């Protein structure tokens, strides 16, 4: 059965209030829609541990740094609802902008430190938008559990930090990145790639795996990074915003994986920005 689609906060509160009174675990999966198997893996994880599950679909204008990017973002609500049918979730919450940012809205949630690197630098204001909307979605849904993908690892760390700092009674669960058969991390933005660009896109993940293997053999990171940048260029990639080795917890730059570390990349391919990260 197609899950109920709720568009207003009062409609949402009407279904969550009795759950809350019964002390139920309410799982929330925040998304911007254009759902793929990566999103659906979060839904499955939520179903496995929660009494009730709500998927939110909200293309959050505050986390976009370009109006063109916001306008081009894929919107496939009917298809999304169909993909969710088999999970038997309780509701899809699709608020309009006024439900989240009513007139006079003046509050921003801002996380320091973790947001001062990588996408925090390349997409100014992005994480303030994310932190603010996630805080709103947690309180609006009365979530006890929330599910995020490691695909957006920096975002997962930021959300974990804010939930802890603001004493939000939500357990933040991180779930592994789901990939296409050729290694490309699933992303709603992959829909924007031309056929030609799509065939080249897996090179980003291939180069990251190559570096991870080299690090395992104690090869020099900088040397491998330069070679990878060169090959990405030859494969038709444009600007590489970053290709960094960083600590998995505080995201500090490393030159060797001397503590639990991850490789992080953001690169442009035919006008589409791809991001990925892997543990090393
Ligand atoms: P988005 O709709 O892109 O904002 O993503 C919504 C949630 O799905 C975020 O927690 C993402 O990290 C997660 N997600 C997106 N792509 C993947 C993927 N390939 N594997 C696992 N989780 C993902």
**Which of 43, 60, 152 maximizes ligand 1 atoms within 8 Å of its Cβ, making it the mutation to test the pocket?**
152
- Find the mean pLDDT for residues 39-49: 98
| 39 assigned to active site | yes
Question: Which SS3 state, helix, strand or coil, does residue 95 take?
Answer: coil
Say how many Å lie between the CA of residue 77 and the centre of ligand 1: 16
User: What angle separates helix 9-21 from helix 126-141, to the nearest 10 degrees?
Assistant: 60
pLDDT tens-place string over residues 108-163: 999 999 999 999 999 999 999 999 999 999 999 999 999 999 999 999 999 999 99
Nearest CA among 175, 177, 227 for reference residue 203: 227
Which residue's alpha carbon is nearest to atom 18 within ligand 1? Answer: 38
Nearest CA among 231, 36, 38, 270 for reference residue 150: 38
- Find the mean pLDDT for residues 95-105: 97
Is the beta carbon of 157 within 6 A of some atom in ligand 1?
A: no
| Residue % of the chain over a pLDDT of 70 | 100
pLDDT greater than 90 at residue 228: yes
| Residue % of the chain over a pLDDT of 90 | 99
Say how many Å lie between the CA of residue 21 and the centre of ligand 1: 30
Per-residue model confidence (pLDDT) at position 96: 95
Say how many Å lie between the CA of residue 39 and the centre of ligand 1: 5
Query: Residue 1's pLDDT band (boundaries 50, 70, 90)?
Result: confident
Say how many Å lie between the CA of residue 32 and the centre of ligand 1: 9
Per-residue model confidence (pLDDT) at position 224: 98
> Is the dihedral angle over the CA atoms 41, 163, 71, 241 positive or is it negative?
negative
Distance between CA atoms of residues 185 and 178, nearest Å? 6
- Find the mean pLDDT for residues 27-52: 98
Q: For ligand 1, what atom is nearest to the CA of residue 35?
A: 2
- Find the mean pLDDT for residues 172-176: 98
Query: Residue 205's pLDDT band (boundaries 50, 70, 90)?
Result: very high
| Domains, the chain, with CATH or none | 4-175 (3.40.50.620), 188-279 (3.30.1300.10)
Query: Residue 60's pLDDT band (boundaries 50, 70, 90)?
Result: very high
Distance between CA atoms of residues 215 and 156, nearest Å? 25
pLDDT greater than 90 at residue 2: no
Please state whether beta strands 26-31 and 4-6 pair in parallel, antiparallel, or not at all (unpaired): unpaired
- ∠ CA 160-161-163, rounded to 5°: 65
Is the beta carbon of 130 within 6 A of some atom in ligand 1?
A: no
pLDDT greater than 90 at residue 184: yes
Per-residue model confidence (pLDDT) at position 179: 98
**Helix segments in the chain, DSSP class H:** 9-21, 37-49, 67-72, 77-84, 97-100, 119-122, 126-141, 153-165, 195-200, 203-216, 221-234
Is the beta carbon of 149 within 6 A of some atom in ligand 1?
A: yes
């Amino acid at each position: 059965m197609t899950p109920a689609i709720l568009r207003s906060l009062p409609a949402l509160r009407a279904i969550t209030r009795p759950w809350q009174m019964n002390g139920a675990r309410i799982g929330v999966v925040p998304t911007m829609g254009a759902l793929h198997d990566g999103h659906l893996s979060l839904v499955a994880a939520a179903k496995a541990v929660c009494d009730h599950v709500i998927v939110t679909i909200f293309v959050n204008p505050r986390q976009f740094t370009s109006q063109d990017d916001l306008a081009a973002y894929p919107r496939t609500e009917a298809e999304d609802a169909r993909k969710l049918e088999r999970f038997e979730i309780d509701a899809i919450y699709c608020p309009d902008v006024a439900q989240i940012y009513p007139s006079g809205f003046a509050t921003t949630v801002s996380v320091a430190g973790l947001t001062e690197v990588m996408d925090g630098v390349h997409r100014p204001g992005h994480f303030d938008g994310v932190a603010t909307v996630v805080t709103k979605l947690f309180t609006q849904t009365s979530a006890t559990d929330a599910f995020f993908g490691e695909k957006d690892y920096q975002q997962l760390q930021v959300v974990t930090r804010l939930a802890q700092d603001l004493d939000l009674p939500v357990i933040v669960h991180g779930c592994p990145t789901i990939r296409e058969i050729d290694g490309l991390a699933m992303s709603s933005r992959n829909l924007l790639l031309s056929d030609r660009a799509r065939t080249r896109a897996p090179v980003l993940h291939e180069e990251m795996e190559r570096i991870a293997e080299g690090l395992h053999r104690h090869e020099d990171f900088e040397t491998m990074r330069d070679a990878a940048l060169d090959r990405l260029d030859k494969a038709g990639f444009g600007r590489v915003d970053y290709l960094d080795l960083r600590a998995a917890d505080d995201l500090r730059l490393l030159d060797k994986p001397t503590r639990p570390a991850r490789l992080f990349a953001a690169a442009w391919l035919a006008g589409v920005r791809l991001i990925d990260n892997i543990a090393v």
